[in-house]
Structure 1
Amino acid sequence: MLETVKIATADLEVGMFVSALDRPWLETPFVIQGFRIEHRAQIERLLEYCEHVFIDTRQSRQPLEKVQRTARLSQKRIPLAQIFHDRDLLGYGDQAAFQEERPRAEAALDLLINDLCEIFEDVGRGGKINVINLRKSVEPLIGSISRNPDACLWVARLKHHDQYSYEHALSSAIWAVALGREVGMSRQDLRSLAMGGMLMDVGKLRVEPELLQAKRSLTARESAYMQEHVTYGLQIIEESGIINPDIINMVAHHHERHNGSGYPLGIRGERIPAVARIAAIVDTYGALTSDREYAAAISPSNAIRVLYEARGLDFQTELVEAFIRAIGVYPAGTLVELSTGEVGIVVAEYRTRRLRPKVMILMDSDKHLLPSPTLRDLQAQDDATAEPLVNILRSLEPGAYGIDLQNVATLSGMTGA
């Protein structure tokens, strides 16, 4: 059972133990990282700096049931607009052009991949997560996505790791930060989302490899055992000394579903922590768009369609719609066929015209590979000309027409995309 709960500052009571704030401690006058509320003046002081805080139920003087009930009632009164900061106030918006940001995104991902592999290998050998290194390595990623998420999404689609767990962890971090950026979460919260996205399936390192690699449907007993990766993940988090409640909640609840059909607790709706609702969306999207032992990847746009059809059922509607806004109907890296018959790969999106991104043309209308790829900006077409507008006809499954995304990395450098 989780021992840390999120409570709106206005709902705090004397006796509760504050273990974390919604902002860095150094930005506040509170000199100790964790304190018990002894009088109302402390609550008034907290109200000046924080919208919500995190309460350690173990160190609170109030009964566990009362603290948890207060947390549930508090969350019901906090709409998304207050849980997540105002996006405009934070100044989010593309601060760098795609071409400018792409090399920085690649450097950020290379650093993160190296650190992530090292962390997973250490945990696989029974070691602990190096939290300090992980926190440092996610900073360039957060900076890149904050400046221009398309660049990072594009580079991530071209990166490939032999092990699904590494690739899924990296992708989940990227998509979680992109979604957090879209709904206006603070830099500190984006950091938590990145770390939680990378670690939410870390418990699978303690699941039998033969089961993870099974190319068949699992039995009921095997499925129940597989679900234990959540428990194992929480154990690894605790052993590593991680106390960030957002990371803990992402590990604990990323398989919960909006309608209560998930596991391990079967909680529903607003009882699922907001960061875990984000984790559920990016975890599912990542699974759908990746080749796994028992299922082939589907195109990013088809995965978006699956999520959209599950809105209000498996996932919170507002967050699904925000995710689509964040990564686009045709996310960077999607293979597409144009109305001309040409085949290309989406390079960058536009926040205002999602159906007309930049596309790197790889094949002509007869499906012959071009000797040199060309870049076409579908938004730059002149609506006033007599020529018919070129649109995306459909998205293609990964590997269509024998196109290997890993080879596109070299091609993209030739085009200056």
Structure 2
Amino acid sequence: LAVVFRERKFTVANSLLLGLCVGVSFLLRSPLALFPPAVLLFDFLRGRYRKPRTALAHFAALFFFPVLFLLPWIYMNASAYGKFVPFEGERGYRNVVAGAAGLSMTAEGDTYAMAGIPETSNPALHLARRMISAPGTVFPAAARRAWLAYSWHPVLWTLALVSMLLLWRRPGTAGLALLCLYYAGLYCVSMPLEPRYILPLAPVLFGLACMLFGDTDAAPSPGPALVLSALLAPLLLGSAFAAYLAAAYPSRIGRTASELYAKHPSSGFLALMAAKEHAAQGDYLNALPFAALAVRLEPWQLRWRQQYLGLLAGSGVDVSRAAAYGPQSRGRRVTASFLLLDSASLLDRGEYMKAEIKLAQARAYWDGGFVMLRGRLDARGRALERRLWEGDSGFYMSELAGIARLRPPQARAQLAARLARITELPQGFARYCGAVEDNGRD
């Protein structure tokens, strides 16, 4: 709606409104971060900026709110972690790496290992290098993703594309076409797809399709403005609250989990964090009651139970019987965690053969469940999938390290030495289970 308003009436106020909508979208994710520059370039190509002062005014209006909404997030990361982090990362980074490898649909697993690059690599630079060094991989993959996006909503896309071609000069059509092509193009070029990635475009495609059957030359009515106001009001409140939390986070990060639990005594999560906090200091006398409390408060959380058993094992209690009969449902990750815990308990008792079997069973859970590629695979895709299976150890390593971190430093070293006798430890395992960071939080 904001795009249409700006197309119908090219004013600084409507540019400010469009910038506000882009800024509010950062409440969830940031794919529209580059849309304001795209709008400015599109305006320039259409000759809308006849005076530098006009261009500067629209530039400021389009960027004011996006930058304003990002400032608390940037401040939070800079103050708490000493890093400049303008947008979200991690999962998105792995998707970009998978996209550079030529995958059409998303992958679960260590895509950095699949691509053969270190995890410290910049995914955007890696994609740019791949565009230059392997255009025969990157650009055909982008074309396949574009076809996928079309195949998920063929009727909407067909009608929308016809509308773009036939009604290009109608008010609003060009701006909506730019939004569609920008959003779909960004995803198709940069990363593998899932239907939900393209789903936000459905209302825009529907609007373009409706233009074929409506009177687009009719005088504007107040209805769309009221609808936009009703949509923006709760989103603005949510964005303001999120900005407040981000700005307040650095001053609150120093609080201990025990202090936070005292203010929220019904939270099993905070009780568990308090337990791990005490365990990180070697204080198992206070850690175990907090862990037991977390299990009692939220008995359905199998993760809490697994962490409680890990703390018991770290304090010297034999938990092999309890771990051996851990629940075999509610998701493979939790089940495999119990198998790893059982293996660690068997190692503590010197039963290396049984521990090795449990370890192999746990590893098989991740190889079969969490490492996969979505969509129909060609020969290249199958080769990448094999590489993903062979090279991925992220879940395995983090779970092993999580169990080790629940133990005192000397016990961690003993567990690592025992594990090394029955398996090749994942690269970086010592670093993962070394110093406990972030007050004992995983």
Q: Structure 1 length normalisation: TM-score?
A: 0.29
Structure whose CA Rg is larger: 2
Which structure would you say has the larger RCO, counting Cα contacts within 8 Å and 6 or more residues apart?
A: 2
Higher helix share: 2
Higher strand share: 1
